[in-house]
A and B are shown apart, each in its own frame.
Chain A
Amino acid sequence: MATLRTYVIARLLLMPVMVITLLTLVFIILRVLPGDPVSVILGPKAPPEVVEELRKALGLDKPLHIQYIDYLGKILHGDFGLSYYWKIPVRDLLWPRFLATLELSLLAMVIAIALGVTLGALGALKRNTVIDVVTRLIGVASYAVPVFLLGLMMQLILGVYLGLFPISGRISSEYIGQFRPITGLYLIDTLIQGRLDIFVDVLKHLVMPATALGFIISGVINRMTRQSLLEVLDKEFIIAARARGIPEDRILTKYALRNALIPILTIAGMQFALLLAGAVLTESTFSYPGLGTFLVTSVTYRDYNAIQGAIVLYAIVVVIVNTITDILYAFIDPRVRY
């Protein structure tokens, strides 16, 4: 498997290149484009000496190429600067919020896969029937529905009218500080510390945002499942299995789905960028304290370092996840390696 090894090494070597390209992109957007961060932060009527002071504090008085090197150097050392609003290092603010986003995203992904695979498999099995049309239309609807509309309607019906779930936040206020955040993923932390009551509370907070976000992502998985299942069902080994008299449901689970699942899971991994983007809106809808909410509130506070830090963290995460899915894909599909 020398070719696979070469591919993996090449892909890993590309990682820093992509990170630096994205960091450069962020730099260009935040510093080089016509908008001036200082006037954005202070507003147009700020006295000139204050403007000058902030300009110095931000290092914006230096030439662009020096700023660029400073910026890259600091990020490579994990230094994201100080938050103006919170008055503490941005790095310390980012990490717990990133973990909150991770928890939400992972649960949403589980829901998306469950929903997408079920709907897609139903569609493929009942091809060209009403069920097929309905499952496909649900798929199209999932592309088109704004996640915040779905979220707000869930809040209204499941939260306000039926009182089943809390409509916002990550944890009820009486439980804050009742357990030690070890991993930062509350579901795991509460479980290993045996606090089932808090676990249920956290889960209840997660149900609506994760379902809303999961539904948005499920469309792509739904389509992919239908497509790859239809392809597999046409294969000769399925016909052979039928000819041997193997029951239809066993053919589906043991033969068809297992073969179709590999591309499905890869596609799911590739939806990660979509997941992060959807998470920004979902978090904001449910006031969930994740990275997305942090980015949006930092924009409202004009907290320049915080905005830059959040975006840089997103960029790094995206590159890492893309690299992992690409490598996994290469393991599965030999045609990718070259």
Chain B
Amino acid sequence: MNLADLILGRKGLRKSLEYKMFMTGLSIVTTLVVIAVLAPYIVPWDPYKPAAEEYIPPFTDPRYPLGTNFLGYDVLSRVIWGTRNSLLVAFLAVMIAASVGIPLGLLSGYVGGYIDRALSLIMDSVYAFPGIILAIALAFVLGPGIVNVAIAIAVIYVPTYFRVIRACTLVVREQLFVEAAKAMGADFITIMRYYVAPNVLTAAIPVLALNFADAILTEAGLSFLGVGLPPTEPDWGVDVSAARGDIVRGIWWTTFFPGIMIFVATLGFTLIGEGLPYLLNPRQRGRIR
């Protein structure tokens, strides 16, 4: 099935819950990406500067539709700019994790032996470790900043790619066409690049979407704990963290709006990741996670 069939919902897909989930997810993610890209042009106020007096309630003043926070920053502008930071960190983290995990998985699965055993042991250990705790340690050592947070998060997901790609490589390397390539004298790099890799990479696609969801959640979590992005940066997690004291006073909008954006963004990517494996291959239904 090709991508056009998938998006247009041909071949009787349209009725399935998975199709609806996938399309909803895709719409959410597309909207968020557009918001992130256009952020500098659509923010009503500078998200780095106070816009008015503090704690204006939402839906009362049309100039500050979502109200203002404890420093008088416009919540809507912070939330819009936060989309940019959140997606950027998640994107970097997923890319770093994939570009480390996939080659290692290929190598481990194809070469086998001691390298495979050592790599598998390390990856299994990292995989078993509660992700955010590992990320806290890394973020502590690396210090704040977008790239550093992305690296800290990426380390958590390397084993996911490693495991998926390694398992697929184990199957592919036994195929006849790989043996044929070897018999014709193809070198290691050629076999990996033209024979093995193209056949295992599709397995990483649903993982990518679910990882993206998780990365957004982890970044928000780290920032909420104060070890993610610097406290001045407009970011959903940072903003919720800064506003947590407001709850006691019954002020809800400063935590709710950035918080719900984390939920919506994570939901979008989760829905894509949930729907995709079913749409690509009905037999895999419910096999992810």
Contact = CB atoms under 8 A, between A and B. Distances in A.
Interface string A199-223: 0000000000000000000001001
A7 to B, nearest CB: 17
A318 B21 contact: no
Which applies to chain B's interface (DSSP): helix, strand, loop or mixed?
Answer: helix
Contacts of A276: 130, 133
Contact of B289 (A30, A155, A220, A300): A220
Interface stretch (B3-11, B37-45, B199-207, B252-260): B252-260
B266 A146 contact: yes
Interface stretch (A76-84, A133-141, A171-179, A180-188): A133-141
Interface of B: 17, 21, 121-122, 124-126, 128-134, 136-138, 140-143, 213, 217, 220-221, 224-227, 240, 244, 247-248, 250, 252, 255-256, 259-260, 262-263, 266-267, 270-271, 274, 286, 289
Nearest to A315: B129
Contacts of B133: 276-277, 280, 295, 311, 314
A20 to B, nearest CB: 9
Contacts of B252: 153, 156
Contact of B140 (A22, A40, A274): A40
B213 A143 contact: yes
A72 to B, nearest CB: 15
B141 A296 contact: no
Contacts of B130: 273-274, 276-277, 280, 314, 318
B166 to A, nearest CB: 17
Contact of B137 (A34, A311, A322): A311
B39 to A, nearest CB: 21
Contact of A296 (B136, B213, B217, B256): B136
Contacts of A114: none
27 contacts: A18-B124, A18-B125, A18-B128, A21-B121, A30-B137, A33-B141, A33-B142, A35-B140, A35-B143, A40-B143, A143-B266, A144-B263, A146-B221, A146-B262, A148-B221, A156-B247, A160-B247, A167-B248, A220-B289, A276-B130, A277-B133, A280-B132, A281-B132, A296-B227, A311-B137, A314-B130, A318-B129
B220 A140 contact: no
Contacts of A156: 247, 250, 252
B259 A146 contact: yes
Which of B133, B224, B226, B266 neighbours the largest number of chain A CB atoms within 10 Å of its CB?
B133
A152 interface: yes
Contacts of A143: 213, 266, 270
A146 B220 contact: yes
Nearest to A26: B137
B266 A300 contact: no
Contact of A133 (B17, B124, B125, B262): B17
Contacts of B270: 140, 143-144
B260 A149 contact: yes
Which of B121, B125, B143 neighbours the largest number of chain A CB atoms within 10 Å of its CB?
B125
A21 B122 contact: yes
Interface string A215-250: 000001001000100000000000000000000000
Contact of A318 (B17, B128, B220): B128
Contact of A35 (B21, B141, B255): B141
Interface residues of A, number: 52
Contacts of A192: none
Given A148-B259, A299-B225, 11 more contacts: A21-B125, A29-B137, A33-B138, A140-B274, A153-B255, A156-B247, A227-B286, A281-B132, A296-B226, A307-B140, A314-B133
Contacts of A153: 252, 255-256, 259
A333 to B, nearest CB: 17
Contacts of A227: 286
B12 to A, nearest CB: 15
Nearest to A293: B225
- Leading 9 A-B pairs by shortest Cβ distance: A149-B259, A277-B130, A35-B141, A144-B266, A144-B267, A276-B130, A21-B125, A277-B132, A273-B130
Contact of A281 (B122, B128, B225): B225
A149 B128 CA distance: 26
B94 to A, nearest CB: 16
Interface in A123-174: 133, 136, 140-141, 143-146, 148-149, 152-153, 155-156, 160-161, 167
Contacts of B274: 140
A319 interface: yes
Contacts of B225: 280-281, 284, 296, 299
Contacts of A37: 141
Which of B128, B136, B140, B274 neighbours the largest number of chain A CB atoms within 10 Å of its CB?
B140
Interface string A27-45: 0011001110100100000
Contact of B221 (A17, A22, A160, A281): A281
A285 interface: yes
Given A25-B122, A140-B270, A295-B136, A149 B129 contact: no
Interface string A247-282: 000000000000000000000000001101100110
A322 B130 CA distance: 12
A25 B125 contact: yes
B137 A152 contact: no
A29 B136 CA distance: 11
B132 A140 contact: no
Contacts of B244: 148, 152, 285
A60 to B, nearest CB: 13
Given A35-B141, A155-B247, A277 B131 contact: yes
Contacts of A35: 140-143
